[in-house]
Amino acid sequence: MEKLGGLDAAFLSCETPGMHMHVCGMLVLDPSTMVGEPYDHIRTMLLGATTTAPLMRKRLIGVPFGIGRPYWVDDAEFDLDRHLHRIHLGHGRDDRSLAGVLGDVASRPLRRDRPMWEIWVVEGLAQGHVALIAKMHHSTIDGIEGVSMMGRLFGVAGPEATPAPDGGPRRAPGKRPTEPEAGDQVVPEAEWQPERPPGSLGMLRRALAGRLADPVEVARLLPVTATRLGSTLWQVATRRRGEPGTVRPFTAPRTSFSATLTPNRSVAFTDVSLTDVMAVKEAYEVKVNDVVTAIVGGALRRYLEQRGELPSRPLVAAAPVSVHGRTGSVKGVTKLSLLFSSLATDVEAPVERLRVVAAANARAKEVSGAMGADTITRWAGQVWPTALSLAARLYSSLHLAEHHPVAYNVLLSNVAGPPFELSLAGARVVGTYAFGPITDGAGLNVTVISVGDRIGVGIVACPDFVAEVWDLADAVADSLDELTAAARRMRAGTSRRARRPQPA
């Protein structure tokens, strides 16, 4: 039995009928080199994975009166076939048909009376491809952990083993989850016995005992937070003249998707060349994330301009940033901070937009550093789940997001995956995409993940406010093309100047 971390519980508590707090990932497979049925391979892998990933067998149990955070407990009635689903679309269906399935999957919240994950195997795609869609609650996963977990659950392998980010062991390529390595906790299926959770009185005693430490933690947090807030304000106030200002929440322009969500979701996806992104990065001496942000800004500018909805002020992106390893003893699966940055949608010239974005991102990192990596996660642990849930439902039911300044316009995540192509049970992975949640007041999420030489771009929107999400996906490639063309022109000009004879 394991208590949820502060942010994990917050993601559960702030979920409303229109605001689902799950994330989705999708692998598109070419099974032409796979022996046997893809569905059978995936089911076998999942059976093995549930013995090495304990959270896959755990369900939620709440604390009476919601005075404390919930716990994960073993699901005594765990049944894999409640979580694994198979769909056949026919034959030769395109990406839009696949996106329709994914949008339907994303439109429905996960049940809380069983482990909070689902896997969908979608067959009948063009070229014989098969898609694997994974849906998991955000309380169980974040971006960095998601990349690692996908590889762990399905034995996704690259050409060679690489060290884990923390220096620990990583599963060798081609090894299935049923083949344990050092450090894996393996419980054979026949020997697994679910832990019996305590009764309501026992849960209440645990919660009350935990709450006794709250005043001490708050007393520690207040001076630390005050100091960090002062440092942040100083960072904002002392920016140099001519430097882009720090982007602050609640200063974003209102758009058609700055509204209260309905349960419906629409999805689109595309991919672009990482080589092209790196060429732009090198040409203008910026970071990969700056190029990605500028591409999304350019795509949104094109999308809104075509509809006559382009605001005069730049759109603001909220970027979740993993702070694993920088939060000390703070418990929990999800450990995130937020950066607020400009998408520079008010800038017409692509290269100038890139420079504005790069400067804004640099300022956002300085401000985030001043606030500290563990500020959000520590304060999240002090919020009573019942109070947060009531507040979230009241906020949604009263449509308050439509009556106060806009906090941000888009949730934008950039996740670095492995730098090599992947395979799954002998099938080549030809597409990798991730899809994050959307929130009241910001009905658009763009999640970018790089694998090998491709960058997959996943877009989630509320279709009641973003009518043609595929138009936005199509604009992503156009936005990158503008920057790569400018980079080529700049390199050609530099080359000509270098060959020009110098005066004696």
| 103-104-108 Cα angle (round to 5) | 110
With 60 as the cut, is the pLDDT of residue 173 above it? Answer: no
CA-CA distance, 458 to 467, in Å (whole number)? 16
Residues 183-221: pLDDT tens digits?
444 455 556 677 777 777 777 777 767 666 666 666 676
Fold of the CATH domain 211-499 = Chloramphenicol Acetyltransferase (3.30.559)
Q: For residue 377, what pLDDT is reported?
A: 72
Report how far apart, in Å, the C-alpha atoms of 420 and of each of 162, 267, 278, 428, 429 are. 11, 26, 15, 12, 11
Residue 21: other Cβ atoms inside 10 A: 21
Domain coordinates in residue numbering, the chain: 2-160, 211-499
Where does 264-385 show beta strands of DSSP type E?
266-273, 316-322, 336-342
| Least confidently predicted of 209-213, 440-444, 462-466 | 209-213
What are the distances in angstroms from CA 9 to CA 30, 66, 112, 311? 38, 11, 13, 36
Token pair recorded at residue 334:
């999800």
Q: Which residue has tokens 């198979």?
A: 86
Q: What gap in Å lies between CA 449 and CA 235, rounded to an integer?
A: 31
138 is catalytic: yes
Neighbours of 452 (CB within 10 A): 15
The pLDDT assigned to 163 comes to 34
Residue with more model confidence, 254 or 496? 254
User: Which region, left, alpha or beta, applies to residue 478 given φ > 0 means left and ψ of -120 to 50 means alpha?
Assistant: alpha
From 20, 85, 138, 399, the catalytic residue: 138
pLDDT over threshold 50, residue 316: yes
Least confident among 106-120, 250-264, 320-334? 320-334
Measured in whole angstroms, the distance separating CA 406 from the mean position of its chain's CA atoms is: 21
Q: How far apart are CA 131 and CA 134, in angstroms?
A: 10
Average pLDDT over residues 243-254: 80
Higher pLDDT, 498 or 60: 60
Q: Which CATH architecture fits 2-160?
A: 2-Layer Sandwich (3.30)
d(CA 268, CA 95): 8
pLDDT at 177: 35
SS3 29: strand
**Tokens 């200002």 sit at which residue?**
245
**Helix ranges restricted to H, 23-142:** 38-52, 95-106
| Sequence-ordered alpha helix ranges (H) in 406-501 | 469-499
Measured distance CA(389)–CA(221) in Å, rounded: 23
What number is the average pLDDT over the span 141-157?
A: 62
Mean pLDDT throughout 380-393? 85
End-to-end, the C-alpha distance of the chain in Å comes to: 80
Q: What is the DSSP letter of 55?
A: G
